[in-house]
Amino acid sequence: MKRQDSAWLILIFLTPLVMFISCKDKIQEKTKDEWLKNNLSKVEGLYAIGESEKSFDEAKEKMRDNISLKIVNSLREYLGRIQTDFNDEINTLVRERLIEQLSDPKFKENLKNLAEFREKYYDKPNHKFYALGVITTEKLTDFITTNFSGFYNSEIFYRQLKERPGGIYRIRVNSRYSDRIISLLSKDGLTLDNTRWFAEVVGHSEIVDETSIASLSGPLYTIKAQYLISIKGKNGILIGQLTSNVGKGVSNSKSKALSKAIVNTSIDIEKISTYTTSIKENIDNYIKEWLNKKFNESIADELGRIQGMFQTGDYSLAETSLEKVSISSKEFPQALAIYLKIQAKKEKDEQISATREETPIESVEERETKWFGELVIRFILGLLGGGR
């Protein structure tokens, strides 16, 4: 009996120890992917991970850097996909200003400060520290709309357009006197630009009188014509006009008779300088009206539809629609926020679906532990059996 009692005592004390030894290696820490998957299900917003070989504090700081960089890169990508007309000076400037803001160190620092630390993970085998952080969609929306809405001020944009290389006083010239016209207008502060122009100088012929008589070689044409130089604003308004004297041309060809008539005209090109002030005033008025119109265009209904696409999970259609919204609208910062929310949701869903639970393969250490546990239990059972 004493031997059996002793065996029972040994069993009572050793069984918990054997169970612990047998199970401790099975209670493994989650893998980093599993840890991330489990924690992403709890967050709503744009997340990032920081990694360090030194400490959790360093991992947290890197997480903040990563989340700021992720947002900046996402917005840069979106701005590059916006569909705009190359000749649209306003959209060009708006895009450049938004990108400049993204590059501002203060903007990046403020983004970092929005990041909230959520969870940490220590990868013991590789001795690495990980920190998971997130910027909630609410904070992100408030931050983006606050930081970008102030750009849409027509007076500020008008001033900045004037300060850009080439300024706003750009003209297109198409006339038989083009070289002379360009020389005169450039002295008065106007710049030749046949691609992005706000006023144009166009020459054309105008027949004043035309007659023809029969001859042995066919009809003989007599044409009287003038050469006119019209100065027009981009809004179609006629700013001024220079008119030549009437020239005369005779030829069996109607077109040759007209050409001869124009060659026989003369025009006082110097007078074009008298229109410089009017040209500049027309450009000023056109751009100011253009800015006010652009900045008052509403995309609220379009953004509402896109928000609905996002909420129903139609991310591709939402992104495609966002590429077509007006970058100049005061409501455009809301489009930036929606784009970031789409990226955050897509990335989270992809990460969660990509992480798969794997059945761990039993290691040599686990097998040895199990063998040791079984050996101890057999020893105890032997004692018990020997007492019978």
The per-residue pLDDT for 364 is 41
The per-residue pLDDT for 359 is 35
Domain boundaries, the chain: 2-28+360-386, 32-152+300-354, 170-295
The per-residue pLDDT for 376 is 55
- Helices 89-102 & 276-296 angle (0-180, nearest 10): 60
- What is the residue-level pLDDT of the chain in tens, covering all 388 positions? 555 555 555 555 555 554 544 444 433 446 777 787 777 777 778 888 888 899 989 999 999 999 999 999 999 999 988 877 655 788 888 888 899 989 899 999 999 999 989 888 888 888 889 888 899 889 999 999 988 888 888 999 999 889 888 899 999 999 999 999 999 999 989 999 988 899 999 999 999 999 988 877 788 999 999 999 999 998 889 999 999 999 999 999 999 999 999 999 999 999 999 999 999 999 999 999 999 988 988 999 999 999 999 988 899 999 999 999 999 898 999 999 999 999 988 887 777 776 554 434 444 444 445 555 555 556 555 655 554 4
Residue 194 DSSP class = S
The per-residue pLDDT for 44 is 79
Burial 110-138 (b: 16+ CB within 10 A, else e): ebbebbbebbbbeeeeeeebbbbbbbbbe
The per-residue pLDDT for 347 is 82
> Which pairs from 73-80 meet CB under 8 Å and 24+ separation?
74/339, 74/340, 74/343, 75/102, 75/336, 75/339, 75/340, 76/102, 78/322, 78/336, 78/339, 79/327
> E strand or H helix at 174, and its extent?
strand 170-174
Give CA separation, 322 vs 82, 111, 315, in Å: 8, 23, 10
SS3 label, residue 248:
strand
The per-residue pLDDT for 24 is 42
- Residue positions counted in the chain: 388
Residue 119 DSSP class = E
Q: Phi/psi of residue 201, each to 5°?
A: -120, 115
Q: How far apart are CA 26 and CA 34, in angstroms?
A: 16
pTM score, two decimals?
Answer: 0.71
The per-residue pLDDT for 365 is 47
Tokens of 114: 């929005």
Q: CB-based burial of residue 39 (10 Å sphere; 0-12 exposed, 13-18 middle, 19+ buried)?
A: middle
